[in-house]
A and B are shown apart, each in its own frame.
Chain A
Amino acid sequence: MKLVRMLVLTAGVVLAVSGAVPLLKRILADSKPSVQLNVKNAQPREVEEVTQNAILRDYTLAWQGIGTALANNTLQPLNENFSGFALDRLVQRVKDQKQNGLSTRLIDRGHKVEAVFYSPDGSAVELKDTASIETQVLDGGTVIHSDQAQIQYYAVMTGAEDRWKVRVLESSAR
């Protein structure tokens, strides 16, 4: 009798964990990634404190937007945080994913970002980002690829109407 009780309890715990894990993963995927920004080496202009805070906020939002857009195949999070070539590219990726029944889950484990260029007129900044990301590609609900890697990204952000937007985002094997 005791054994049966234990078995039922164990099954209950397993069921609860199996339900909670995907839920937790989803919550984590939608939450803001951790971004550390270093502006000490920015050239040729020094990054002002207000600009630094704005870039940190908006770059973080941009990555949150990528995560949401690629996981749910929606465009709204991209329009808010991207412009120019980066927006065109990500929009096309979401459209292609949708057309092929795919989605991508990014489990973002953090970004170490360095500002490498800040234009003399203060209108553009280039960031070098070492991102730790787990990428899962899903076909319907099935994971068909999963990898975890440190990826180097180069991002160019420009000032838009009320925020900084990512205009170029490119990964590199360098």
Chain B
Amino acid sequence: MRKLIFIGLIVALCWFAADCAHAADLNLPKDAVAGQPLSIGTSGTGTLYLIGPGQVIKREFKSGGNIEIKGEELRSAGRWIAIARGDVRQSQIFWVKPGKPENLNFLARPSRVPVARPNVITGVAFIFDKYQNLILDPTPVNFNLAVGGTGSSKTVTSRDGIAWTNSASAPKAGAAQFVASVGGTQVRRVVQQVAADPCNLRMHVAGRANNNVVIETDPIRDCSGNPVPDGTIVSFIQTDRSGRSTVDSRIKKGIARAELPVSDNATITVAAGVVLGNELHVGGKQ
């Protein structure tokens, strides 16, 4: 009985030793990083396949020794399979982590926005390493939104590779520089901040031309004092005994003007979008 137990123990020991020896045939590092060189220990002769998420690397090896993989070869982060074929037939799983943050994909929305609106501009940054692997570890990203030298800055820590922020538009119109930066990498987007709806829309009679009366607005600005962009439509509506006529005019150099037929007693109103201006009575007993 003792002999039997002894033989059993010897067999188990040999099995364990063989298993250990076999496991040592392919020696993979536990902290591989994309873009950094990798050294893999082997024994015997054969072919090694490294199968990654976005590539396959093949190497022949002889009489053991280490297989060196260059940093630029190891590009994909994620789950890799190492397969040795030859004297030794073995496969192992290993993980490659993303490298340092070096690239940002930055989405800034919208590209054109009215001034002085709360939480209207959003920025979303996706953080990648040199080889476009998404960096899942928390990383601080700085967002800076500035127009005409003044602006706001905020640092947001990414979660699962993404950092986002939202911000109010500035009271001043102009091209706002929206910059996302991480480490030494900066990505810039331009958000055009335009005047909001007109405020205090006023018109006056500017004169007569042929048989028409010329109506002209004062310079049209929003409530923050920004000039409403040229090209914005302003409607002049004249109502008299003969009915109602409308002239749509575009703002040019900050003001809108229209020529309306002379009437002996007419009421003229002005509007831009949903904003109404003053009212004029022309002709007859004004």
Query: Is A137 close to B, CB under 8 A?
Result: yes
With A89-B76, A145-B81 known as contacts, the answer to whether A168 contacts B134 (CB < 8 A) is yes
Q: A145 touches which one: B58, B83, B95, B126 (CB < 8 A)?
A: B83
A residues in contact with B51, CB < 8 Å: 93, 97, 102, 104, 137
A residues in contact with B126, CB < 8 Å: 156, 168
Q: Which residue of B lies closest to A147 (CB)?
A: B93
Question: Is there contact, CB below 8 Å, between A44 and B164?
Answer: yes
Chain B interface bracket (under 10, 10 to 19, 20 to 34, 35 or more): 35 or more
18 contacts between A and B (CB under 8 A): A88-B54, A93-B52, A93-B55, A100-B49, A102-B49, A119-B107, A121-B109, A126-B160, A137-B83, A139-B85, A144-B89, A145-B91, A149-B93, A151-B79, A154-B160, A156-B134, A170-B53, A170-B98
Question: Is there contact, CB below 8 Å, between A154 and B81?
Answer: no
Query: Is B132 close to A, CB under 8 A?
Result: yes
Residues in A lying within 8 Å of B, measured CB to CB: 44, 85, 88-90, 92-93, 96-97, 99-100, 102, 104, 116-117, 119-121, 123-124, 126, 128, 135, 137, 139, 144-145, 147, 149, 151, 154, 156, 168-174
Q: Which residue of A lies closest to B161 (CB)?
A: A154
With A102-B49, A170-B133, A173-B95 known as contacts, the answer to whether A119 contacts B164 (CB < 8 A) is yes
Question: Is there contact, CB below 8 Å, between B161 and A89?
Answer: no
Q: A170 touches which one: B109, B122, B136, B159 (CB < 8 A)?
A: B136
B residues in contact with A171, CB < 8 Å: 53, 78-79
Question: Is there contact, CB below 8 Å, between B122 and A126?
Answer: no
Query: Is B162 close to A, CB under 8 A?
Result: yes
Q: A120 touches which one: B57, B77, B122 (CB < 8 A)?
A: B122
Question: Is there contact, CB below 8 Å, between A124 and B107?
Answer: yes
CA distance A18 to B55 in the complex (A): 33
Residues in B lying within 8 Å of A, measured CB to CB: 49, 51-58, 76-79, 81, 83, 85, 89, 91, 93, 95, 97-98, 107, 109-110, 122, 124, 126, 128, 132-134, 136, 159-162, 164, 166
A residues in contact with B107, CB < 8 Å: 119, 121, 123-124
With A144-B83, A145-B81, A154-B161 known as contacts, the answer to whether A93 contacts B56 (CB < 8 A) is yes
With A93-B55, A96-B55, A145-B81 known as contacts, the answer to whether A154 contacts B134 (CB < 8 A) is yes
A residues in contact with B79, CB < 8 Å: 151, 171, 173
Interface majority SS (helix, strand, loop, mixed), chain A: strand
CB of B172 to closest CB in A, whole Å: 24
A residues in contact with B81, CB < 8 Å: 135, 137, 145, 147
CB of A147 to closest CB in B, whole Å: 6
Question: Is there contact, CB below 8 Å, between A93 and B54?
Answer: yes
Q: A172 touches which one: B78, B109, B159 (CB < 8 A)?
A: B78
CB of A118 to closest CB in B, whole Å: 10
CA distance A93 to B76 in the complex (A): 10
CA distance A135 to B85 in the complex (A): 18
